[in-house]
Amino acid sequence: MRFIETELNGVTLIEHDVFEDQRGFFFELYHARKYHDGGILPRFVQDNFSGSVRGVLRGLHYQVKNPQGKLIVVVYGAIFDVALDVRRGSPTFGKWHGVELSADKKRQLYVPPGFAHGFCVLSETAGVVYKCTDFYSAEDDRGIIWNDQAIGISWPVENPLLSLKDQSYKSLAESENELPVYSG
């Protein structure tokens, strides 16, 4: 298992040791000790499963008072997954990292608390499972508009299918007073 740090401190790509033969494949989806040794220290308290069709874009979501770290894996299909640093005062504030995750590649992305997270579906359908470090809190739920020009995320979809909630989010600059503070 390899833990690959990205240019955003704490955002980590995980490549698994996959064992394949004529029957199929096997890999450890999560192993607390190995993840701890790889620098992913939090305890996970909630697992979510999302099924979506091609062109769906979910995000960019974050929580203010109860920020969630997320460990994302695709169990079928393929997505373009994005982590956006929304921590006021962070050296990488407003920077993003995007990576393709797919069931074929069997990689995971860890997005730490204090980052907004979103993804768009590249395949006909996709199933995304993500472990969370804190519980969902509706009153704490926030988001950044997916196409904020100041951020410039290179989404591989031009006219995504969005929820009404995701369509209503403000830009990063308009949201600044609600954003979490970087604690170093």
Give the catalytic positions in this structure: 61, 130
Round to whole Å and give the CA distance between 26 and 95.
35
The DSSP result for 23-40, as a single string, is: TEEE--S--HHHHHHTT-
Of 104, 105, 99, the residue nearest 119 (C-alpha): 99
Do 94 and 172 touch, CB atoms closer than 8 A?
yes
